[in-house]
Structure 1
């Protein structure tokens, strides 16, 4: 096990493209850290820099307290699991698991002991004689994990390892990886574009956009207090509702004017009220999660809206609504649902609001 320290890590390609802009953060010994963001945000590039598969343009990378910028990948004591399983088709499961150990020069008894241990941990014991073509996608992914596991590295690097699996298998493999991490206590760095994977697996999450770190925190801290509009919209399914308008009203009775005759009553805490003073008469963005808005009884409510689509998904339903030019999604129980085209009233929890500057996109308030 080891810490991983990134100090102003940059990646600039020969054509001048900057893939990673000065990333600085520490991954604690035994932590499962997730790097998340949309395609092209630099998360896989960052992981490959840690692995030694991409040259570091600037900055310092330390693993276990040792600077490894110029250390070859094989000497960094890391193991990587890729999106593609990259199994040798002509080898059995046991041979795939033990191949890296054979290259390391371990004797046969040591190799077999480690392979048996990994196979037991990943429930592959009955599959050791099979070839990859005889395995399901989930089984192949477990073999790829086991191949990294047998090396007993200081750090595991996982680059979108579940993206080739169907939804059901992804769910079960998430549980498998979380269980494996709890059992091993090894430092893991996990890359994904899937915010559900990030929220369910990560002890902490690094959110990236355009090669820049947007926020680093625990999953629920990111969800409850996103640092900017990008984080607010990226994490959460459905994403946060963002209402844009002009801030009006008097202190103690602030209102976001969304459209003619449509206003959102605000009740920010004292610190945020102080921060909002300079926005009076100016544009403002207010965020509300879908679960923090509700249908008001009998069509009354603080906010009028029109139902555009209804999406029942079993134990809950999502209402897609139009409100003063804004698009909203509200999470509701699956019974007594309105119909498309129906006018409804919405209530909301003022204490659950988030406030953002429309220009800088930064969070306003604590």
Structure 2
């Protein structure tokens, strides 16, 4: 096992594009850290720099306390699992698992022992003599994981390994990867654009945007205390609702969408003074059809569509020019187009500065 340290790492391409801006963080020994963000945010570039597949423009990258900026990939003691599996189609599963070990001239008995251990761990025993074309997508991904596993590296790198799988298989493989991490205790760095994967897998999450780190924290800390509007809107499904405007001294929020009664202004996040321009955020699950004993804040919106999911419903609403989503238990509702009153606790509001979009602490 090993820690991985980025010390003010930049990546600039020859055309002037800066893919990574001053990345400065550490992955702890044995940690499962997730890099998440939209396409083009720099997460795969960071992973490829760890693997040695991308050069570093400036700054230092250390693995297990050793600076590896100029160290060849094969000497970094890492193993990488790719999005497209990258299996050899003419080889059996056993041969795919053994290939990297044979290149290192490992004794045959040791190779067989490692294959047997990884195969049992990943449920591949019955597939060892099959070729990749005879396997399902989930089985191929398990082989790709096994090929990394048999090397017993200091660091596992996983680059969107589940993006080619269907929803059910993604859930199964997320569980498999989490179990593997608990069993092995090896340092893992996982790249994804899927915030659900990030929230369910990561012990910590690095949220990236345009090559810059927006926030690093545990999943629930990011969800409950996002550093800015981007993080707040990126993590959570459905996404957080946002309204821009000013808070009046009378506890009324004047926005482009209209006036919203907030109730007790003193219960708003600290630092939100009357008259200040801000963005208010509210999670869909905090908009409710019934008022609680301490809830006086309300929103009157127009019901557009209902998405019934069995144990809950998503209500798609319109408030002026703003679209809102509420996540509520099953209930009898008026027809789409009808006015609907929803309630929320002002203490659940997230407040962001309108100009900088950073959280008001």
> TM-score w.r.t. structure 2 length?
0.95
CA displacement, residues 281-311 of structure 1 (integer Å, 9 cap, x when unaligned) = 34211111001111147xx972211101111
d(CA) in 2 for partners of 1:269 and 1:94?
A: 65
Q: Is the 8 A contact 1:256 1:266 kept in 2?
A: no
Q: Is the 8 A contact 2:80 2:156 kept in 1?
A: yes
1:337 to partner: Cα distance: 2.8
d(CA) in 2 for partners of 1:305 and 1:40?
A: 36
1:98 to partner: Cα distance: 0.6
Equivalent residue for 2:63?
Answer: 63
d(CA) in 2 for partners of 1:260 and 1:143?
A: 52
Equivalent residue for 1:283?
Answer: 277
Equivalent residue for 1:316?
Answer: 312
Equivalent residue for 1:225?
Answer: 225
1:255 to partner: Cα distance: 2.8
Equivalent residue for 2:173?
Answer: 173
d(CA) in 2 for partners of 1:337 and 1:115?
A: 57
The 3 A distance-change label for structure 1 pair 66 and 131 is same
Among candidates 232, 254, 259, match of residue 262 of structure 1: 259
1:268 to partner: Cα distance: 6.2
Q: Is the 8 A contact 1:296 1:344 kept in 2?
A: no
d(CA) in 1 for partners of 2:212 and 2:297?
A: 41
d(CA) in 1 for partners of 2:310 and 2:268?
A: 40
d(CA) in 2 for partners of 1:323 and 1:296?
A: 18
d(CA) in 1 for partners of 2:254 and 2:238?
A: 24
The 3 A distance-change label for structure 1 pair 4 and 271 is farther
> TM-score w.r.t. structure 1 length?
0.94
d(CA) in 2 for partners of 1:269 and 1:66?
A: 52
Superposed, 1:39-58 pairs within 5 Å as 39-58=39-58
Superposed, 1:301-340 pairs within 5 Å as 302-340=298-336
Give unpaired runs (5+ residues) of structure 2: none
SS at match of 2:176: helix
Equivalent residue for 1:2?
Answer: 2
d(CA) in 2 for partners of 1:217 and 1:194?
A: 17
Equivalent residue for 1:344?
Answer: 340
Q: Is the 8 A contact 2:52 2:73 kept in 1?
A: yes
Equivalent residue for 2:355?
Answer: 359
Q: Is the 8 A contact 1:33 1:204 kept in 2?
A: yes
d(CA) in 2 for partners of 1:261 and 1:140?
A: 53
Give unpaired runs (5+ residues) of structure 1: none
1:334 to partner: Cα distance: 2.1
Runs of 4+ in 1 over 2 A off after TM superposition: 258-261, 266-273, 280-283
Q: Is the 8 A contact 1:244 1:326 kept in 2?
A: no
d(CA) in 1 for partners of 2:334 and 2:104?
A: 65
Equivalent residue for 1:210?
Answer: 210
1:259 to partner: Cα distance: 5.0
Q: Is the 8 A contact 1:207 1:214 kept in 2?
A: yes
SS at match of 1:295: coil
Q: Is the 8 A contact 1:267 1:351 kept in 2?
A: no
Aligned residue pair count: 357
d(CA) in 1 for partners of 2:263 and 2:156?
A: 46
Q: Is the 8 A contact 1:312 1:334 kept in 2?
A: yes
SS at match of 2:272: helix
SS at match of 2:145: helix
